[in-house]
Chains A and B, each alone.
Chain A
Amino acid sequence: MRLFPTTEKKNKKLCLLLMSLLIIVVLFSGCWDWMELNDITIISGIGLDETEEQGKIRLTVQVIRPAALSGGGGDTGGTKGGGGLGGDETQAVRLLTTTGETVFQAIRNLGTQASHRLFLSHTHVVVISREAAEKGIYRFIDFFARDTEPRPNIRVLIAEREAGEIMRHASGVESIPALGLYRAVQTAALNALAPDITLQDAKIRLASETTELVAPLTKLYVEEGIDGEKKTRVDVAGTAVFRGDKMVGTLNKKETRGLHWILDKVKTGIIVIEHAGGKQSLEIVKAESKITPEIRDNELVVKIKLDVNTILGDQQCVKILTEPDEIALLEEKQTAEIRTEITGAIKKAQELKADIFGFGDEFHRKYPEQWKKLEQHWVELFPGIKIELEIKSDIKGTGAIREPVYRLR
């Protein structure tokens, strides 16, 4: 094969020119958005607060310092200096704080502090303070939904007090506090102690006409570290309930699990019941729920069918609980406990007039014709919905032993 089919000098030159142009076009087209890894500052978490000055946003971002994470350096963020992030130079992250009129402006205002371009694709959590959330959350969310860098799986959390403080303190064992918080939300949700709400979930719930937003609650607590010093840590538990984009109340841990039962999101967890003079733990191994809305002569009814399997996880009494009669009793009490949790959650939600369960969407799907009328009055209708619970709960196992190893002598 001949590279240049013509022998004429002129054409050869033209061919060479074209070839070199082609090579340049192919090889150099990537240069315009070339950004080396050490030219970006990775934001791991963002805290959003209201400033004292009306309408302004205070932004606290946690940026990763890779150098501190690679051997030597600070391998443990947030374990030094009385629970704070302490000795700044050895820390895996650094905090940058600024204010702005909007979230986007505030992020760009960080340009005066960050050494490199800020990079949002590896942001894991966005924490918004309760105070700010009560005034409306959408002004914080829109930027993260609209911008192309943040991922849809960012976890959205509500801080009991200041969001910036949450950014300052460590959670779990991760060296990057925001990553620890991200994992903590997932672990809490696994045990149905807090909802696991991603940015995508938040967008869907905000977009819905009736289904209201929920978000995990996070707060600081103080504990004594192994060196005897008081450390401030971050804790994720409970649910923030919204109406529209404004936070209106909270659910405690039990009510949070009630919410999860209805949403069919319980993966595991412990049900504690009092029985035979002690407390017995039952570990949830399977939970399935089904919601069926019904309209019965001008009354809205939601039928919730729940199927729960548990195993006996831990007993405090010395009675043999594995007898069929005892099991039946335990199952009965377990059913009652689940019923309490569900009704508690529903009662709270109805009090707050916030349809966090998505009942409205269920009615919409099943009764599209009637829904047009229902929709306009949903806020008034929701508190009046009648709930019919049908709980089937079984104890399927007793763990590695059947009878307690210790008996009264």
Chain B
Amino acid sequence: MLRFLSRLRNLSFLLKEKNNDKNSNFKAQQLTADLNKNIKLFRQVLGDSSDVIIRQFKLARGGTSAALIFLDGLVDKKQINDHILRPLMVHSQTSFFGTLKKLKDSFIFIDDISELKDFGKIVSAVLEGKAVLLVDGSASALVIDVKGWEQRAIEEPDTEGGVRGPREGFTENIRTNIALLRRIIRDPALTFYHLRLGNKTKKDISIAYIKGVVRDSLIAEVKFRLNKIETDAVLESGYIEQLIDDNPFSPFPTIANSEKPDKVAAKLLEGRAAILVDGTPFVLTVPMLFIESFQHPEDYYVHPYFGTFMRWVRYISFALSILSPAYFVALSSFDHELIPTPLLISMAAAREGTPFPAVLEALLMIIVFEILREASIRMPRSFRAGGKYRRRPGDRTGGCICRSNRACYGDRYLPYCCRHFYCASSDRCRYNFALCSAFWSRSVRPVWCDHHTA
């Protein structure tokens, strides 16, 4: 087994290296004045992917050859057709005059445009969703920002509900998220510091803070930590969270995250810094104090009496959820005299016939809760939508606790969550195991039971 694993590791190592070989040397390449050579270069680097589009055309009705390179799906085609191709093909002058400046200045109706020579930078611009214009006779390229792709609309976040307050939540697009914050805090002091992380993913990251409110050393520290990150992939803000965490071994978070712009704005106004990561609606805020787990912007939207009350409810329920299993064990295994007699009797009645100690019961209960929680999150939506399956696990446990005052229901309710667990794959496993056990008992039992039956 160990050998197999180590072999696997070697293999993956090889794979990685191969990949690196193919891609790492393109940065050394240079553009030339020959358009065909340049196109070949791009073909070489970007490969045969079907989404790479290289549109070759002539400037000004049959003039100089040119090519527009972009990735299908990442660009806004309407802009390319109307504001790049049309003016270049129809209106521009016939002859090419050595530099791209004239084209840039007079014929391309796009706001964000730059002239680049560095081939590596140009390739990553293409991968970002920009279009690259190559013109025959020029060793540099025009990089035109025509990004535009399908994205989720601003929706109410699922993870953070609320009764009162704005409904909008962050999306996967960092530009939208920045705009959402800007719309709340209309102050020139609100600053976004941009950087990119991940050798392969090259995620856009933005540190947001309000100058004059935030402590400078905090921003310096955040920048320092982020810049020190050396990683291939940043898929979600969780990667960053774990890479810059103060104390990786501690179970307590030191970095908060939120999907709600109003919450992040509130924290910015308190002098914290936010880290926005492209591709996830979860925005990080630093530093985080433990007490923040109990706070919610809604506390400030409602009447102070009620807000304070709700906060105390949270403190109390925190203490309850942390301590009650322990108290249950302590009372039912040691301090029976502390339980009121009627409760003691019903607890004793519930324990009748349970072979396990209360500690085990409590642990089993906690584990079953975790399983149910995990199952209900991970279960495919199509299973949940029916209503019948969806309601079952929670209902059964809740009802069970109320009805019998007992903690031990793992025996009865494990099958339930197993039923909901994942779908086909676990089902198949279950059948296999069931069949195995059936065979095993059929074949083994007669041997054991010989003297009983005879």
- A interface residues with partner B (beta carbon < 8 Å): 1, 3, 30, 33-38, 40, 42, 44, 64, 66-67, 69-70, 119, 121-122, 124, 149, 151, 176, 179
Partner of A36, one of B249, B349, B358: B358
Check B348–A42 contact: CB distance below 8 A: yes
Among B337, B341, B346, B357, chain A packs the most CB atoms within 10 A around the CB of B341
Complex Cα distance, B346 from A176, in Å, reads: 13
Check B347 for interface membership: any CB of A closer than 8 A: yes
In the complex, A151 Cα to B336 Cα: how many Å? 12
A67 to B354, CA, bound (A): 12
Q: Is B247 located at the chain interface by the 8 A CB criterion? A: yes
B334 in contact with A64 (CB, 8 Å): no
Output the residue of A37, A66, A121 with the most chain B CB within 10 A: A37
Question: Are A37 and B247 touching (Cβ within 8 A)?
Answer: no
A16 to chain B, nearest CB (A): 15
Partner of A38, one of B250, B337, B341, B351: B351
Q: Is the interface of B mostly helix, strand, loop or mixed?
A: helix
Within 8 A of A (CB), among B390-407: 404
CB neighbours (8 Å) of A40 from chain B are 336, 348
Contact residues, B344-369 vs A (CB, 8 A): 344-354, 357-358
Q: A1-B247, A35-B336 are in contact. Are A42 and B357 (CB under 8 A)?
A: no
Q: Tell me if B337 and A149 are in contact (CB < 8 A).
A: yes
CB-CB under 8 A for A36 and B346, given A1-B247, A66-B352: no
A33 to B333, CA, bound (A): 9
Report the separation of the CA atoms of residues A3 and B350 in the bound assembly, to the nearest whole angstrom: 43
A122 to B342, CA, bound (A): 10
A69-B333 in contact (CB<8A): no
Q: Which residues of A contact B336 (CB under 8 A)?
A: 35, 37, 40, 119, 121-122
B140 contacts A by Cβ under 8 Å: no
CB closest residue in chain B, given A179:
B341
A64 to B352, CA, bound (A): 13
Sample (28) of A-B pairs whose CB atoms are under 8 Å apart: A1-B249, A1-B250, A30-B334, A35-B333, A35-B336, A36-B332, A36-B351, A36-B358, A37-B332, A37-B336, A37-B348, A38-B348, A38-B352, A40-B336, A40-B348, A42-B345, A64-B345, A67-B353, A70-B346, A70-B349, A70-B350, A70-B352, A70-B404, A121-B337, A122-B336, A122-B337, A122-B341, A149-B337
| CB–CB B357/A34 < 8 A | yes
Closest residue of B by beta carbon distance from A119: B336
- Residue pair B345, A69 in contact (C-beta under 8 Å): yes
The 10 A-B residue pairs with the shortest CB-CB distance, nearest first, are A70-B349, A121-B337, A66-B349, A66-B348, A38-B351, A67-B352, A37-B348, A37-B351, A122-B341, A37-B332
Q: Which residues of B contact A37 (CB under 8 A)?
A: 332-333, 336, 344, 347-348, 351, 358
Q: Please measure, in the bound complex, the distance between the C-alpha atom of A44 and the C-alpha atom of B348, giving whole angstroms.
A: 14
**In the bound complex, what is the Cα–Cα distance between A124 and B340 (angstroms)?**
12
**Which one of B333, B341, B347 contacts A34 once the chains associate, using CB atoms below 8 Å?**
B333
Query: In the complex, given contacts A34-B333, A38-B348, A149-B337, what are 10 additional A-B residue pairs having Cβ atoms less than 8 angstroms apart?
Result: A3-B249, A36-B332, A37-B358, A38-B352, A69-B346, A70-B349, A70-B352, A119-B336, A121-B337, A122-B344
Tell me the bound Cα distance from A149 to B335 in angstroms.
11
Residues of B within 8 A of A3 (CB): 249
* B residues near A70, Cβ cutoff 8 Å: 346, 349-350, 352, 404
Q: A3-B249, A119-B336 are in contact. Are A36 and B357 (CB under 8 A)?
A: yes
Which B248-270 residues have a C-beta within 8 angstroms of A? 249-250
Known: A3-B249, A66-B352, A67-B352. A36 touches B333 (CB 8 A): yes
- Chain A residue at minimum C-beta to C-beta distance from B406: A70
- With both beta carbons as reference points, the residue of chain A lying nearest to B354 in the complex is identified as A38
B346 and A66 form a contact (CB under 8 A): yes
Query: Which B308-324 residues have a C-beta within 8 angstroms of A?
Result: none
Which residues of A lie under 8 Å from residue B334 when comparing CB positions?
Answer: 30, 33-35
CB-CB nearest in chain A for B356: A36
Residue among B249, B334, B345, B349 with the highest chain A CB neighbour number at 10 A: B345
List of B residues within 8 angstroms of A122 by Cβ = 336-337, 341, 344
Question: What is the bound-complex CA distance between A176 and B344, given in angstroms?
Answer: 13
Nearest-CB distance from B312 to chain A (Å)? 31
Question: Which A residues touch B346, using CB under 8 A?
Answer: 66, 69-70
Minimum CB–CB distance for A64 against chain B, Å: 6
In angstroms, Cα B337 to Cα A149, docked, is 8
Chain B min CB distance to A90 (Å): 14
Q: Which residues of A contact B349 (CB under 8 A)?
A: 66-67, 69-70
